[in-house]
A and B are shown apart, each in its own frame.
Chain A
Amino acid sequence: MRLLRLIPDDTSFPFMKFRPFAFGLSALISMATIVGFLTIGLNIGIDFKGGTLVELQAKQGHANIGELRTRLQGANVGDVQLQEFGGPNLVMVRYGEQPGGEPGQQAALRRVRALIDADYEVRRTEVVGPTVSSELVQMSVIGVILSILAVLIYLWFRFEWQFAVAAMIATLHDVTAIMAFYIFTQADFDITSIASVLTIIGYSLNDTVVVFDRIREMMRKHKKLPVAELLDVAINSTLSRTTITATTTFLALLGLFFFGGEVIQGFTASMLVGVIVGTYSSIFMAAPILIYLGLRQGGFGTARAEAEDGEGATAKAKA
């Protein structure tokens, strides 16, 4: 049986030669994200800004969005967004936070329901009040920062500080790229988006760590090799694994994206992008940054110890 090989054995692609392009591209994406964030902005979901979401199903035939829009003006809830959601008989109704604190939100929902109950079945409602939404924002920001820091500390202990910093920069790059996805597709940015951002952080770090592990191993084996070459060897030897894992994860997500239903489509879409970005950043961001952080040339602990005293280095490597 002939086995499938996406990446041939013994590749020797000069990844490090491309690092000016890679950094240029990443800088461009980051710039675009910042500009996009300031001009277009995120389409922030009700989890973070408060408000109400109601999913409706027409009891008979197709939903008439135009007629529904006119009808809902009577509810007096301000600007109402209506959109078809997964089928011609399904409509998603969204409106912002209402005056009057928490009871105000409840009263508004009652008014809306009274107007549509006759012709539409309510499939789902979500009302997030002002107190909860501000807490969710706080919690999400803390979550993202905390997980980056925790991983940073873990990597610092397991590797050297250069690796931790490089991984962190690559992770921030991934977060930026995901933000770009949310900004330019205008997909709802809500609490599940945070879950997808954190999953991508986890995935990307997983990928980065595998490459880093190999770099460390190579450094012990080939002490004389220039850093750029060494990184290329390490990346090439893990390239097959990187693509296979990226492919399996991507395939699993594709299944979810096409067959998992509307409710989690945005969630899986951002993760599909995240898998690509995470894989790219491990190779083209995390590894090259190590060069700039003065790996080996300027006081990388293990390397220097090895040069001076082979015994001590082996002991350290084992520990």
Chain B
Amino acid sequence: MLSFTRWKATLILVAVFATMMLAAPNIMPQSWVDKLPRAMRTHMTLGLDLQGGVHLMLQVDSDEVRRSMLENLRDDVRRVLRDNRLQVQNLGFQGNSVVVRLREGQNADLALTELRKIPQLIGGAFSTSGQYDFDVSRQGDSFVVAATEAGIRDKVSRAVTQSIEVVRRRIDQLGTTEPVIQRQGIDRILLQVPGERDPQRLKTIIGQTAKLEFRMVDQSVTAEQALSGRPPADSVILYEEVKEGNRVVQQVPYVIQRRVIVSGEELVDAQAAFNAQQAEWVVNFRFNSSGGRKFAQATTENVNRPFAIILDNKVVSAPVIREPILGGSGQISGRFTAESSANLALLLRAGALPAPLTVVEERTVGASLGQDSITSGTRAAIIGSIFVLIYIFATYGLFGLFANIAVIVNVVMMFGLLSLIGATLTLPGIAGIVLTVGMAVDSNVLIFERIREEVRSGRSVIASIDGGFTKAMGTIMDANITQLITCVILFYLGTGPVKGFALTLGLGIITTMFTAITFTRYLVVIWLRLFKPARVPM
């Protein structure tokens, strides 16, 4: 037990040195770090609770995803039947399905064959699941096209993926550094923006779906007529909100055609600008070529009639077309401020979310609190560690010194490994490190107490020390593994700061086993060789 082969000793020193190198960039000045090769720039990131920032948990509105999935399905069913000249008695929703009833005397077999072409394999041509998104069945003259569970799940999943893309584009536009955008579970997105001071602005930008549409105003009825009766079948009533500050003071109804002339997807650019003639803020935009063509055609056909610019189902403005707009670019006006026009331009450039996002959890930490936490966390860590080091030295003397060196190496190794995996250091994480310092010496305490027992039972120096290390081994393993189990569970179940705590504590337990068992032993062996002591000094 007490002999170290040369290569083993080298390995220990290499491990210690390597982790020191990994930990070093954390405390170097930035100018030194920049000179290092990229692979050596390992460092920990400070958690939001330490550097300040915004943490938002966003949830994709899966009901909305399902609803729009069904609406698209209804349109598909209607189109398929119309293309085959099949006449529909009625068409409606029932739970997660679209139910259609044909008029009498229609070719039901043809309808079934054609409707069966609607379902698609989930995952496209390379699908491995073999599951379809819809399920078609016939009940007499009625047909039920039902969305399958797998189909809905797939749609929601794709909506989340798409939302992550859009959120990323929007956040990138803000020019913040290193935001974290991650999928969480089935329908959630974790967004962390370090350093962001204004959660409100972030939420305004994330919270808008930004679905832009250009649609014609239906002039066959007035808004009042539509409100008292029913709007025409292919039109709906939408409102323009007149605001004073943040309060909506008036809602102006419009009758708007369902058909969309051009949508926001066909925009290639949008910029906020100040229109000097009208003395108001506007958003200038440009369509791609197909969007430009559609817009040109619609404006040519509808000169002197109003069209509506609709954002998230609200009318932004409804200008009258004075002349055909052929250049593929245009201008949106509608009581904007400098800020709101800039925001809208940003949202249009980044694209629309497939479904609304709601904030289900929000945690923000101001930069000043973060700085306070770093200061107090570091101070507490240093003071706590000094307490422990002094106490251990007082208890074990020279051996205490060995243990203390091992504890310090242990902390360095922890920092090294945390840097290697690019872990996030949080305030509870610092607590985990301090706690590790307190508990890390446990393995050494177990060994030293064993050595003392051996000495008391009258063994020689070498035999006592050897016996101490050997006999404490099993206990150290059992004790640390039980503790590691709770850490692993905490890590998998915990979120944010708690995860950071579990990670540092767990990693600390692992490095402790190395430093206490191997590194301390190495120090003791060197001491034995150099001084050939006649008794154990404790």
In chain B, residues 356-385, which have Cβ atoms closer than 8 Å to a Cβ of chain A? 358-366, 368-369, 372-373, 376-377, 379-385
Complexed CA–CA distance, A204 and B392 (Å): 21
Complexed CA–CA distance, A129 and B362 (Å): 8
Q: A124-B365, A237-B453, A254-B387 are in contact. Are A209 and B494 (CB under 8 A)?
A: no
Asked whether B368 lies within 8 Å of A121 as measured between CB atoms, the reply is yes
Complexed CA–CA distance, A197 and B495 (Å): 16
Q: A3-B396, A154-B481, A192-B498 are in contact. Are A256 and B364 (CB under 8 A)?
A: no
Q: A195-B502, A205-B482, A252-B437 are in contact. Are A129 and B431 (CB under 8 A)?
A: no
* A254 neighbours in B (Cβ, 8 Å): 384, 387
The 8 A CB mask of B103-141 against A (1 = contact, 0 = none) is 000000000000000000000000000000000000000
Asked whether A129 lies within 8 Å of B478 as measured between CB atoms, the reply is no
A41 within 8 A of B: no
Asked whether A209 lies within 8 Å of B431 as measured between CB atoms, the reply is no
* A207 neighbours in B (Cβ, 8 Å): 479
Report which of B358, B441, B446, B486 forms a contact with A199, defined as CB distance below 8 A.
Answer: B486
The residue in chain B whose Cβ has the minimal distance to the Cβ of A244 is: B445
* A202 neighbours in B (Cβ, 8 Å): 482-483, 485-487, 505
* B386 neighbours in A (Cβ, 8 Å): 255
Report which of B359, B373, B445, B538 forms a contact with A106, defined as CB distance below 8 A.
Answer: B359
* B475 neighbours in A (Cβ, 8 Å): 209-210, 213-214
B302 within 8 A of A: no
* A142 neighbours in B (Cβ, 8 Å): 493
Asked whether B485 lies within 8 Å of A210 as measured between CB atoms, the reply is no
A249 within 8 A of B: yes
Nearest CB on A from B441, distance (A): 5
Asked whether B438 lies within 8 Å of A249 as measured between CB atoms, the reply is yes
* B266 neighbours in A (Cβ, 8 Å): none
In chain A, residues 179-223, which have Cβ atoms closer than 8 Å to a Cβ of chain B? 191-192, 194-195, 198-199, 201-203, 205-207, 209-210, 212-214
Asked whether A199 lies within 8 Å of B59 as measured between CB atoms, the reply is no
Complexed CA–CA distance, A268 and B428 (Å): 10
Asked whether A244 lies within 8 Å of B395 as measured between CB atoms, the reply is yes
In chain A, residues 112-135, which have Cβ atoms closer than 8 Å to a Cβ of chain B? 113, 121-129, 131-132
Nearest CB on A from B451, distance (A): 12
* A126 neighbours in B (Cβ, 8 Å): 362-364
Nearest CB on B from A146, distance (A): 5
A62 within 8 A of B: no
Complexed CA–CA distance, A146 and B488 (Å): 11
Chain B binding site: helix, strand, loop or mixed by DSSP?
helix
Asked whether A263 lies within 8 Å of B49 as measured between CB atoms, the reply is yes
Q: A248-B442, A263-B49 are in contact. Are A198 and B486 (CB under 8 A)?
A: yes
* B361 neighbours in A (Cβ, 8 Å): 127-129, 132
Asked whether B59 lies within 8 Å of A102 as measured between CB atoms, the reply is yes
The residue in chain B whose Cβ has the minimal distance to the Cβ of A103 is: B358
Asked whether A259 lies within 8 Å of B446 as measured between CB atoms, the reply is no
Q: A4-B394, A132-B361 are in contact. Are A195 and B498 (CB under 8 A)?
A: yes
Complexed CA–CA distance, A261 and B59 (Å): 33
Nearest CB on B from A126, distance (A): 5
B57 within 8 A of A: yes
Give me 17 other A-B pairs in contact (C-beta within 8 A), A150-B486, A271-B435 excluded. A10-B456, A110-B200, A122-B366, A125-B363, A132-B360, A158-B478, A195-B428, A198-B486, A199-B486, A202-B482, A210-B479, A214-B475, A248-B441, A252-B434, A260-B377, A261-B380, A267-B431
CB-based closest 5 A-B pairs: A255-B384, A252-B438, A261-B376, A260-B380, A249-B438
Q: Which residues of chain B have a CB within 8 Å of any CB of chain A? A: 49, 57, 59, 199-200, 203, 358-366, 368-369, 372-373, 376-377, 379-388, 391-392, 394-397, 427-428, 430-431, 434-435, 437-439, 441-442, 445-446, 449, 452-453, 456, 474-475, 478-483, 485-487, 489-490, 493-495, 497-498, 501-502, 505, 538
